[in-house]
Structure 1
Amino acid sequence: MSFNSLGLSQALLKAISKKGYTTPSPIQQKAIPPVLEGKDVLASAQTGTGKTAGFTLPLLHILSENPKEKYRPIRALILTPTRELAAQVYANVKEYSEFLNLRSAVIFGGVNQKPQVARIRQGIDILVATPGRLLDLESQGLLSLKRIEIFVLDEADRMLDMGFLRDIERIIKMVPDRRQNLMFSATFSKDIKKLAHGILHHPVQVEATPENTTVEAINQKVYRVAKGLKTGLIIKLISDGNWKQVLVFTRTKHGANRLCKKMISANISAAAIHGNKSQSARTKALTGFKKGSIRVLVATDIAARGLDIPLLPHVINFELPNISEDYVHRIGRTGRAGAKGEALSLVSADETTYLKGIEKLIDMKLPVEIIEGFEPDPNASTEPEKRQQGRGGNRSRRNSGSGNSRTSRHKNNNSRRRSKGNNDRRSGNKRH
């Protein structure tokens, strides 16, 4: 099948061709036709399979086929959980709409709102947004969602993981009842299906790959190692392999900072990216990593779905995630678009439970290797650390990447109602 057979406009086909694409991915083949037909769609596809184009291409086609008045109200809203993902989706929208008379904008917290507001006031057709900044600007009367025709919820499961359910519910009340709804995600839990039931109307459900599978092009391996020797091992692997581009995941923001400093001390250029970093620092780190001036990007799970790095060869789990599904999203940063990739995990004794959970989820026994001089501690406990156990520990770990907690978000919402004047400052510090 070619893109020509999907029913997309010539302007879109020209943009697709310019990017060098000829054959749609499985999720694009399955999702684009029903979206073009105006149906609600519930789509599941693992990360790195082209699902962003699966909704942006037909969305652009529909809007361009039905032009509106000279003043452009916002007609399509794409909601994403993180700033990085919002920027990535916006870049795709801009590229695919190059030959169309459509305008778009992206808004997220952590940066000055004035340029974003100025762009919106010029009139736009498509808005890509994170929940926090969107609600901030709407509460200030700086944008309206009353003319939305197409509503897209991207990475819906991550939205719930990060505690955005109340925000989503508030946003749904701001858009018209009659609209087309598209929900895309890497996985679909019971909570996601419950959310979909309340948003989508008789949706077409499409799935490109079995839920929670890992990309076949990724070579996965586990290194068993004593906890205190992890830093030395990761430096050895990167140095001996002369790896030039490595994405490393830690469980906490402080852990990311510490590892980054150790890398730099070992003459390996590195930068950290997580929720405590300013947006400018995050952008600078990601740009340097993509250009090759930074060899190692150390990240928390905030980056697991928001980074689009072509041909990324290596992903290393310095610490395993205590939520098994996050493993799939982390390693999905490599092995994209048919390219080969390598995903390595440094596993200490206290992460044994996490490893078993991951192997059960992906239905695969991961090969194990031990490097001389970095052997695991035979006397170490295999019990997870207490601070990582239980629902509270999971929530704390998740929010270490976002800079939020559900409690602080609830408090922020209440504060927002009392004082609209501080919205931009609060969004910059607390919200995605």
Structure 2
Amino acid sequence: MARPNKQKKYPKNGRANEKRKAEEEEQKRLRERVEQYDPAVDEASLAQFSDLPITQNTLKGLKDSAFVSLTEIQKKSIPVALKGEDLMGTARTGSGKTLAFLVPVIEILLRNDITEFDGLAALIVSPTRELAVQIFEVLVKIGKYNSFSAGLVTGGKDVQYEKDRISRMNILVGTPGRISQHLNESVGMETSNLQVLVLDEADRCLDMGFRKQIDNIIKHLPPTRQTMLFSATQTDSVQDLARLSLVNPKKIGSSSDSDVSAVPESLDQYYVKVALNEKLDVLWSFIKSHLKSKMLVFFSSSKQVQYAYETFRTLQPGIPLMKLYGRHKQTSRLETTMKFSQAQHACLFATDIVARGLDFPAIDWVIQVDCPEDVATYVHRVGRSARFGRSGKSLLMLLPTEEEGMLKRMKLHKIEPKFMNIKEKSKKSIRPQLQSLCFKDPVMKNLGQRAFIAYFRSVYIQKDKDVFKVDELPVEEYAASLGLPGAPKIKIKGGEANKNKKNQSRQLLQLSKSNDNGDPSDQPAKVRTKYDRMFERKNQTILSDHYLNMTKAKDAAEDNDDDDEDGGFMTVKRHDHDLNEQDLPDLSLPVSKRQAKKALSRKATLASKGNPTKLKFDDDGVAHALYELEDEEDFIKAGDAKQQKQDFVTKERETMKVQDLADKDMERQKRQEKKRKRKEAERQFREEAQYSDDDDDDRESIPDLERDMEPKADTDGKKRSNWFDEEPASKKQKSHDKFVEYNEPETLEDLESLAATLIGN
């Protein structure tokens, strides 16, 4: 329900007064057009945004953003929303729902003469951060010629920074959790003048566990507001939410739009039947054969996204790889979203967090590695491609146990993807590479184990047991396909409770943990300073819990395997070794001088006990001697002793020949390097002599470096050093411009000889 218009006051300036009157007349004409609008008659005449009763500033912003033609949902919803009526819209993915509510929001605020001093007038709630950022960017583009102030509030950003500025915002876009937090905590969050509330992707908000946050938001808002609710599907929970927040809403959307089978018409749909242990091989082969494409790959859990991203990035398929999931940092998520939107050829591994509302330009393929939980999720996933009439393709990987049930449910919604056959010659196995990665890197092995457990948990919690049959999955084969030496133990817990816990307020969670009884009202919570938070931080690679579990030994690993969530990964096996008391040293005090001398004398100890023996332990904890002799029987089986000796000598001789060739080659390179340095020194000396003063009569002629490299005997029988004087040798005073050439010292004797030569001269 819309609020009544405010009384307008004209400024005293004449020119501003005329401008204000013109704006009022324009608003009056637009209001008359809106009141006279009849959907049954006038809807067919609407084709472009210029046909709508909206202001010129909004039309200019739409035109600058290349929004000209109206989509079906925009034709039906914008005129109804401009009338001030509550709206409940349903449309297929990629149909332009964002503009269907942003254009009415701007026009409603203009009609009610909202300024920056009027506070919050429009609130837009979105389920994910990425979708909220996308809505805010579109709002900034189309509303740049209006004077409203708009803000974006999402999780992962500085709360205090938002609190200081939220009181000056007219339009606020955000996620349910952060908006609910500001309504409870921010002093400047005043909602008494709110004109319109928009709930975008309401079904997704409820599916993600934000029901309590949305109820809290609605309680803080005035009842005399206009509400617009947009959803891709009409579920029972959405109907309940509509009854609580909307008053006599107008339902927009044809029967085909409200059906979950409303996939884009320009989308080519395919599916393949793949065994669980071959999924990564098929995905790798598909990426390698489509390096000039833009792909979006869906997994069922974030752990699978991390493992696939890290392993594929190490193997380098030849295309930029990216990852996106819920528990990423805010800056990383926004950076990944922007990079993937701007990339021409890239592959993004993601969870269902990007399955709703996000508009990535020109996606060629949508690949679903894991089966979606229902047909609606399938529709939203494939809807990332073939948007706004563009062409696109989708590929669904189904297990043999999922094929019949999932295709049957898709057929009920008139979705029939085509079967695609995989050629064996085009499929390449990466299992050996994954095994090598997990063997060399414990962190990679831990990621593989977590991905294994996360997949089985995701299948276990699915409601449709006719499609998802966790008991029929090949456990050991799937673990081997991930490169793991064995299948980790799986402990299933949580489910819906984990989802609610994930979306719970962290401050309330910390408050409950601080009390022994878990009731925040029993006793006051401990005040946590910034220093407490600083010391609680952990390096995600070094000090995380799973890494500490890898590096520390557990005394009772075998007894506590059931309590280890990750299956007792990297625990040290304890073995009880048999101890011989005769071999233990005598630690009793000596009773005589002879015993004391023997105990303190190393020679006496070796004489009685023999030389010490060094032991080494294998992976099973068994001790072995450092050098073990071969058994006599094995030696005899190998053949004649003389022949074995001859073979060994021959083998070593061949090895020495190869090494001699390498040494000779290295010596030859050293000689060539010496010769090159000598030639370079000669060239430099000649250049200096060429550019020196020609009038210097005392200058000596250029010496021959080839001749003077070695010391030569003078007439008196003494040796002459390799110094080249700028002045005649008859002069006793030595010049400071002399230099000596020498070979680079290779031994300690060469270094001492060089030092003596320098000191003596």
Q: Answer yes or no: same fold by TM over 0.5.
A: yes
1:344 aligns with 2:391: no
Q: Residue 65 of structure 1: CA displacement?
A: 2.0
- Residue 412 of structure 1 and its aligned partner are, at CA, apart by 4.7
The secondary structure found in structure 1 opposite 2:265 is coil
Does the CA contact (< 8 Å) of 1:163 and 1:406 recur in 2?
yes
Kindly indicate whether residue 310 of structure 2 is the aligned counterpart of residue 216 of structure 1.
no
Does the 8 A contact of 1:269 with 1:293 survive in 2?
A: no
Paired AA for residue 259 in structure 2 = E
User: Which runs of 5 or more residues in structure 2 are unaligned?
Assistant: 1-46, 428-454, 466-491, 512-519, 534-761
- CA change 1:309–1:104 in 2 (3 A) is same
Return the TM-score normalized by structure 2.
0.51
Q: 1:72 aligns to what?
A: 118
Report the Cα offset of residue 210 of structure 1: 4.2
**Alpha-carbon shift at residue 421 of structure 1 (Å):** 8.5
Aligned residues of 1:317 and 1:346 also touching (Cα < 8 A): yes
Partner of 1:177: 223
Contact 1:42–1:184 (8 Å) recurs in 2: yes
Amino acid at match of 1:73: G
Whole-Å separation in 2 of the counterparts to 1:354 and 1:75? 48
Whole-angstrom CA distance in 1 between matches of 2:253 and 2:54 = 21
Equivalent residue number for residue 183 of structure 2: 138
What is the aligned residue count?
411
- Counterpart of 1:140, as a letter, is E
Normalized per residue, the structure richer in strand is 1
Alignment-mate amino acid for residue 306 of structure 2: N
- For 1:350 and 1:243, the matched residues in 2 are separated by 33
Q: Aligned equivalents of 1:80 and 1:404: distance in 2?
A: 21
Task: Describe how 1:27-106 pairs up with structure 2 within 5 A.
Answer: 27-68=73-114, 70-106=116-152
Deviation of 1:245 (Å): 1.5
CA contact under 8 A between 1:82 and 1:306: conserved in structure 2? no
> 1:322 Cα shift?
1.6
Could you tell me which of 500, 524, 538 is aligned with 1:406?
A: 500
After superposition, residues 198-347 of structure 1 pair within 5 angstroms as 198-208=244-254, 209-212=257-260, 213-264=262-313, 265-267=315-317, 268-292=319-343, 295-347=346-398
Give the superposition deviation at 1:87.
0.5
Could you tell me which of 109, 112, 128 is aligned with 2:173?
128
The CA deviation at 1:406 is 1.1
Aligned to 1:52, what secondary structure does the other structure show? helix
1:263 shift after superposition: 2.5
Give 1:405's aligned amino acid. K
The answer on 1:26 being equivalent to 2:79 is no
Cα offset, 1:403, TM superposition: 12
Letter matched to residue 288 of structure 2: S
Distance change >3 Å, CA 390–CA 45, structure 1 → 2: same
* Cα drift, residue 298 of structure 1: 0.6
Residues of 1 paired with 2:376 and 2:386: CA distance?
Answer: 17
**Residues 95-117 of structure 1 deviation map (CA, whole Å, 9 limit, x = unaligned):** 11111111111101012224433
Q: Which residue is equivalent to 2:415?
A: 364
Closer/same/farther in 2, CA of residues 361 and 195 from structure 1, 3 Å limit: farther
Deviations 1:295-318 (A, max 9, x none): 111110011114221222221111
How far off its partner does 1:372 sit? 2.1
1:69 to 1:99, Cα distance in 2 relative to 1, 3 A: closer
Letter in 2 for 1:8: I
Code of the residue aligned with 2:80 in structure 1: it is P
Q: Give the CA deviation at 1:240.
A: 1.4
Contact 2:116 2:170 in 1 (8 A): no
SS at match of 2:144: coil
Q: Which amino acid aligns with 1:83?
A: R
Letter matched to residue 211 of structure 1:
D
| 2:124–2:173 contact (8 Å) kept in structure 1 | yes
Question: Structure 1 180/361 Cα, relative in aligned 2: closer, same or farther at 3 Å?
Answer: farther
Q: List per-residue Cα deviations over 1:125-175 (Å, max 9, x = no partner).
A: 100111111122222224233321101100000011011111111111100
Partner of 1:428: none
If asked which structure has higher relative contact order (CA below 8 Å, sep 6+), I would say: 1
AA matched with 1:362: H
- CA distance in 2 between counterparts of 1:269 and 1:183 reads 38
- Is the 2:291–2:345 contact (alpha carbons within 8 Å) kept by the matching residues of 1? no
The answer for the alignment partner of 1:381 in structure 2 is: none
Distance 1:196 1:312, change over 3 A: same
* Change beyond 3 A, Cα 1:286–1:364: same
- Cα pair 2:73 2:97 within 8 Å, conserved: yes
Give TM-score scaled by structure 1 length.
Answer: 0.87
Match of 1:380 in 2: none
SS in 1 for 2:118: coil
Alignment partner of 1:308: what SS? coil
**Range moving further from structure 2, 281-290 or 95-104:** 281-290
Measure, in 2, the Cα distance between the counterparts of 1:242 and 1:178: 54
